[in-house]
Amino acid sequence: MNVQEEPLIKPRTTLSLILVCVLVFFVLSALFFIPVPKELQNKVGGAVLNTGHIIFFSLFALTFYPFTKGRNRTRLPRFLFIVFMLSLLIETIQSTVGRTFQWEDIMRNELGAILGISIQMHFQGPHKAHWLLRIGLLITIVTAILVERMPLIEKIITLAANN
């Protein structure tokens, strides 16, 4: 007798989750095009806002990377190229609305996308052969993000020590 196992996440729930992620993505994407408030134009505020690039593009990758076709070997560079082009477009449009074009933001967007992809790959399946690769990628990208965000951590520590 074959007993059919029920999937952990039902297709209808998955579709609802994807639609919510897409909606949140588009609502948050508007934040790239509004001027930065005066309160956040100091060094700490700017550093916190720059962290938003990493978070946003992590969510972007978690939402849209599963829809790319092909093997990871080909779809990963293709997806990162799409993120690069999208980042370039965002930065170009930002320069027309009173914000500055920053290559560092494009790098943060790529770091965020790689983080999202590595999280996606980590939870993709129980393939033991790729377990070490997935953990290595996740540790490497988290380390790169921590190194890139170290000035923010130093500013927060300095700010806390002065108060």
pLDDT at 1: 47
Distance CA 156, CA 124 (A): 35
Q: How confident is the model at residue 10 (pLDDT cuts 50, 70, 90)?
A: low
For the segment 51-63, what is each residue's pLDDT rounded down to a tens digit?
Answer: 788 888 888 888 8
* Per-domain boundaries in the chain: 40-162
Handedness of CA 48, 54, 59, 64 (dihedral sign): positive
Q: What is the pTM of this model?
A: 0.68
**pLDDT at 26 (0 to 100):** 73
| Mean pLDDT computed over 113-123 | 82
At residue 129, the pLDDT reads: 55
DSSP letter for each residue of 16-61: HHHHHHHHHHHHHHGGGGSPPPGGG-SHHHHHHHHHHHHHHHHHHH
CB distance 145 to 54 below 8 Å: yes
